[in-house]
């Protein structure tokens, strides 16, 4: 489809002077590259590779993500780049016939997705984390789940907070992961976008550690009622410092049964505005029922008032 025409370039030409062009850009979620370069993917505690998930600690992956953003910012007249999954992905993905008959809990799913590849072990150890102790803890918890399924041992943890209470090293390991991702975002801002007017937008709620790197944050209200959308936006806007002058978007889904009427969409958009967000992002045109797109044309002007 794109062999002869750069459709993103065409979109830039057609919107010039009329709309701000933002590139919604996917990072580590890349099965094609993961299958071609398994050494760059997440490796769980059992040594299994997750082919859909590139590891953001791997040097080659970090350089690829920076180069991707640099290419976009220099080749197109972008107002901003919207980053999605510039982080570690989890175990579940939706591969063909993906099964889990053990019934893994949310915590167990998260533990199965923790990466212990060579790069992660090396960098975490350099941050004074006893990685082998963390690996042993994670494996013991998962082994117990598999051994006792469908039941669990009496003292089996239900949340990551409970497990961190048992292990200072796990807490340090997860803190190191946050620092690793923050340095990636800072690297994109300071190198890939240096000298460019292109803004860097994140889909996460406001994070003080990223305040100097990101020009925008977000919150998600997918398939939510107007009242719940208002609550989500209120909570997200409360985290913003008074001097923040960037973009706080709310991500709203079109389709999957919500909104169910033009009035409900109107109320959702009003909730985003009243909740303190100064941006709204609709996901997404290609999956939205045509009727909803017609509602959008009538109700979106409310956000500008």
pLDDT tens digits, one per residue of 11-40: 999 998 898 999 999 999 999 999 999 999
**124 and 185 inside one domain:** yes
Is 41 a member of any domain?
Answer: yes
72-100 mean pLDDT: 92
Average pLDDT value for the chain? 94
Residue 275 CB contacts under 8 Å (≥ 6 apart), including other chains: 229, 230, 231, 232, 233, 234, 236, 237, 250
pLDDT per position as a tens digit, 40-81: 999 999 999 999 999 999 999 999 999 999 999 999 999 999
Instruction: Find the domain containing 304 and state its range.
Output: 219-305
Judged against a pLDDT cut of 90, whether residue 94 lies above it is answered with no
**153 and 232 inside one domain:** no
Residue that is last in its domain, among 183, 214, 245 = 214
Q: What is the number of domains present in the chain?
A: 2
Q: What percent of the chain has pLDDT over 70?
A: 100
Dihedral angle at the C-alpha atoms of 231, 234, 236, 238, nearest 10 degrees? -140
Residue that is last in its domain, among 185, 214, 243 = 214
Cα separation, 167 vs 162, whole angstroms: 9
In which element (H, E) is residue 181 found? helix 168-187
The span from the first CA to the last CA of the chain, in angstroms, equals 39
Residue that is last in its domain, among 181, 214, 247 = 214
**107 and 145 inside one domain:** yes
Is 14 a member of any domain?
Answer: no
**185 and 231 inside one domain:** no
**196 and 93 inside one domain:** yes
pLDDT per position as a tens digit, 120-155: 999 999 999 999 999 999 999 999 999 999 999 999
Judged against a pLDDT cut of 90, whether residue 256 lies above it is answered with no
Whether the full predicted model's pTM is greater than 0.85, yes or no, is yes
**Residue 264, CB half-sphere, CA atoms under 13 Å: how many?**
16
Tokens of 118: 């060579």
Confidence at 304, pLDDT banded by 50, 70, 90: confident
**60 and 205 inside one domain:** yes
Give how far the C-alpha of residue 195 lies from the chain's centroid of Cα atoms, to the nearest Å: 26
**48 and 148 inside one domain:** yes
């Amino acid at each position: 489809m794109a062999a002869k025409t750069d459709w993103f370039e065409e979109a830039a030409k057609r919107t010039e002077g009329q709309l701000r062009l933002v590139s919604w850009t996917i990072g580590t979620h890349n099965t094609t590259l993961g299958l071609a370069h398994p050494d760059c993917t997440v490796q769980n505690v059992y040594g299994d590779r997750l082919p859909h998930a590139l590891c953001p600690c791997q040097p080659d992956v970090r350089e690829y993500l920076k180069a991707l953003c640099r290419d976009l910012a220099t080749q197109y007249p972008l107002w901003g780049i919207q980053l999605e999954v510039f982080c570690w992905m989890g175990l579940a993905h939706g591969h063909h016939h993906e099964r889990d008959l053990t019934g893994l809990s949310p915590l167990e799913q998260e533990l199965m997705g923790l990466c212990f590849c060579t790069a992660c072990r090396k960098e975490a150890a350099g941050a004074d984390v006893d990685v082998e102790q963390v690996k042993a803890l994670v494996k013991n918890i998962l082994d117990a789940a598999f051994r006792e399924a469908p039941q669990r041992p009496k003292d089996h943890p239900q949340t990551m907070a409970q497990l961190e209470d048992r292990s200072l090293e796990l807490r340090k390991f997860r803190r190191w992961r946050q620092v690793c991702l923050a340095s990636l975002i800072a690297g994109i801002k300071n190198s890939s976008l240096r000298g460019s007017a292109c803004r860097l937008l994140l889909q996460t709620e406001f994070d003080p550690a990223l305040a100097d790197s990101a020009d925008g944050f977000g919150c998600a209200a997918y398939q939510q009622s107007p009242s719940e959308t208002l609550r989500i936006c209120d909570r997200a806007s409360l985290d913003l410092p008074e001097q923040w002058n960037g973009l706080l978007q709310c991500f709203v889904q079109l389709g999957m049964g919500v909104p169910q009427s033009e009035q409900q969409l109107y109320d959702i958009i009003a909730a985003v505005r009243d909740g303190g967000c100064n941006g709204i992002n609709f996901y997404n045109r290609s999956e939205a029922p045509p009727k909803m797109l017609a509602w959008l044309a009538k109700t979106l002007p409310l956000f500008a008032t």
